[in-house]
Chains A and B, each alone.
Chain A
Amino acid sequence: MSLILDKINYYYGKGTAFESAALKNISLAIPDGEFIGIIGHTGSGKSTLIQHMNGLIKADSGSIYYNGKDIYDKDFKMTDLRRKVGLVFQYPEHQLFEATVIKDVLFGPTNMGMDKLKAELAAYGALKAVGIGDDLIDASPFELSGGQKRRVAIAGVLAMSPEILVLDEPTAGLDPAGRTELLNLLKEIHETKGITVILVSHSMEDVAEYAERLIVIDEGEIKYDDEPRKVFAHADELRKMGLEIPQCTELMGKLADAGLNVDRSCLTVEEAVNSIIGAIS
């Protein structure tokens, strides 16, 4: 159950005077059960990249293999891929359209050809997983709060029981509490259901704490693909790409420069506190 991208190239405005490369020679393997963060500056090509993963955009050259099958083959069923690779777009609450929450969540599973009972079970399960209570399932999605709407929209993708869940900037526009809540939710889904989660973000803080693997994209190319700690060791290069490193890592770097014996690669506040206490005592 893996997704392999092999030398993907994609151009904007192919064949016109405005042609420009959006993705250059991207090769990537996504094995089962990872929590991956993809970061890059606005316009770096990260959204374009994830749309290749479920076949919404077709690469101009290169191939993509899902479980060893070439997705550009004529007899490959794209609906299967769309079901297995669930893609949650930016501001997914803008795609809600049904009269009730449950009907909206049912849209995906029904399109995928699940029978009624199975689809309903999947929809209820997904709503429960994102923390939408029974009292809201018959409400109109347009009456919900922003955070609730977003969780309903995520449930709409989750109900298709994907094996890989890709989310484009899922925390955009949420308050800090909503952001932490959503990220913890993703972590929980990742751990309990064993789903591969790919989190696209331009915020280092988001991905540093949760991702096990970090892919940095700049100008359509993969610059780093490693553990977060190792990626953040390249602070200067990241800054040149217009990316920030997490505040904790930044602070620890400065403390270490000032002569304090602390660990530079701390990612979270907790780690940083422990490291500082260790250095002082």
Chain B
Amino acid sequence: MLRDMTIGQYYPVESPIHRLDPRTKFLGTIIYVVSLFLFKTFWGFLLAGGFLVMVTILAHIPPKYVLKGMRPMLFLLLFMMIFNLLLTPGEVIGEWWIFSVTKEGIYAALFMGLRLALLVLGSSLMTYTTTPNKLTSGMESVFGFLKVFKVPVHEMAMMISIALRFIPILLEETNKIMKAQQARGADFESGGPIKRAKALIPILVPLFVSSFRRAGELAEAMEARCYHGGDGRTKMKPLKYHKGDLIAYILLAGLVAGCIFIP
């Protein structure tokens, strides 16, 4: 059930995009997202869409897989498009009961829908091509300047990477506990909502207990290895810019130029 979540899942292949420095991809995604909100016409979206297609092809990710990431957003997308379609005032071209469809409404629905779709597709591309570890170390580096303002950037990045690392472990643990309780006759599928909620107790209590146990063990293991936070900590694989990153930044500069020149 929880297995077919593609949004945010790393897609392990070799590609120029996968090899890019996570900082490049992170900044690139921010520029891309901001550009989507600056464009006022479809011409801008054509540029952004072209950029998206290019990155997808370069990343060797099957388009079907990328589109699958849209599925959880589909409801929100339709919801927003329908509201825009029906509630935008302007030149009426069709009426039905209390609703009226306007020319501006059709335009707004398509415009907003396309913007959201491009937004989701673009940002999921980053997580498809970047491992969680690289992602957090990229974020740590990009937001590093905040340390001046006493923001615990390293600690937050570490927390995010630990949380991401534990998702599959906890899923597996849940699965195991469910089976163990089923072997003792637990039934999660029948009965009303209250009975079903109660049936979750034999899963949630052991899951909480084991999460705390794991957290304690991890903390001890980190302390045993002299972990003391980010100060003076070096990396086994320091982030380094390569030639590909330069090309990526040039292309991104093109996107920025597009933002400025395309109305």
Contact = CB atoms under 8 A, between A and B. Distances in A.
Interface of A: 51, 54, 56, 79, 82-83, 86-89, 92, 94-97, 107-108, 111-112, 142, 156-157, 160
Given A94-B206, A95-B206, A97-B201, A89 B185 contact: no
A194 B187 CA distance: 29
Contacts of B179: 51, 56, 89
Contacts of A108: 184-185
B230 interface: no
B165 interface: no
Contacts of A111: 184-187
B86 interface: no
B202 interface: yes
Nearest to B179: A56
Those 9 A-B pairs whose CB atoms lie nearest each other, nearest first? A111-B185, A97-B205, A108-B184, A95-B180, A87-B183, A89-B180, A112-B185, A97-B202, A97-B206
Contacts of B112: none
Nearest to A111: B185
Interface string B192-215: 000000000110011001100000
B61 to A, nearest CB: 15
16 contacts: A51-B179, A56-B183, A79-B187, A83-B185, A89-B176, A89-B180, A92-B180, A96-B206, A97-B202, A97-B206, A97-B209, A107-B184, A107-B186, A108-B185, A111-B187, A112-B185
A111 B188 CA distance: 11
A94 B170 CA distance: 13
B182 interface: yes
B77 interface: no
A94 B209 CA distance: 8
Nearest to B209: A142
B15 interface: no
Given A82-B184, A82-B185, A107-B184, 16 more contacts: A54-B183, A79-B187, A82-B183, A89-B180, A94-B206, A94-B210, A95-B180, A95-B184, A95-B202, A97-B206, A97-B209, A107-B185, A111-B184, A142-B209, A157-B184, A160-B184
A88 B177 CA distance: 11
B45 to A, nearest CB: 34
Contacts of B176: 89, 94
A161 to B, nearest CB: 12
Interface of B: 176-177, 179-187, 201-202, 205-206, 209-210
B185 A160 contact: yes
Nearest to A105: B184
Contacts of A88: 183
Contacts of A95: 177, 180-181, 184, 202, 206
Nearest to A56: B179
Task: Summarize B's interface: helix, strand, loop or mixed.
Answer: helix
Contacts of B186: 107, 111
User: At the interface, is chain A mostly helix, strand, loop or mixed?
Assistant: helix
A197 to B, nearest CB: 16
Nearest to B176: A89
B144 to A, nearest CB: 38
Contact of A157 (B183, B187, B210): B183
Contacts of A56: 179, 182-183
A26 B10 CA distance: 36
B183 A79 contact: no
Contacts of A54: 183
A272 B177 CA distance: 42
Contact of B202 (A51, A87, A92, A107): A107
Contacts of B202: 95, 97, 107
A66 to B, nearest CB: 15
Contacts of A87: 183
Contacts of B209: 94, 97, 142
A254 to B, nearest CB: 40
Residue of A87, A97, A107, A142 with most chain B CB atoms under a 10 A cut-off:
A97
Q: Which of B180, B181, B184, B187 has the most CB of A within 10 A?
A: B184
A87 to B, nearest CB: 4
Contacts of B206: 94-97
A63 B28 CA distance: 55
Nearest to A54: B183
A88 B180 CA distance: 7
Instruction: Output the residue of A94, A142, A156, A157 with the most chain B CB within 10 A.
Output: A94
A88 B201 CA distance: 19
Contacts of A83: 185
Nearest to B182: A56
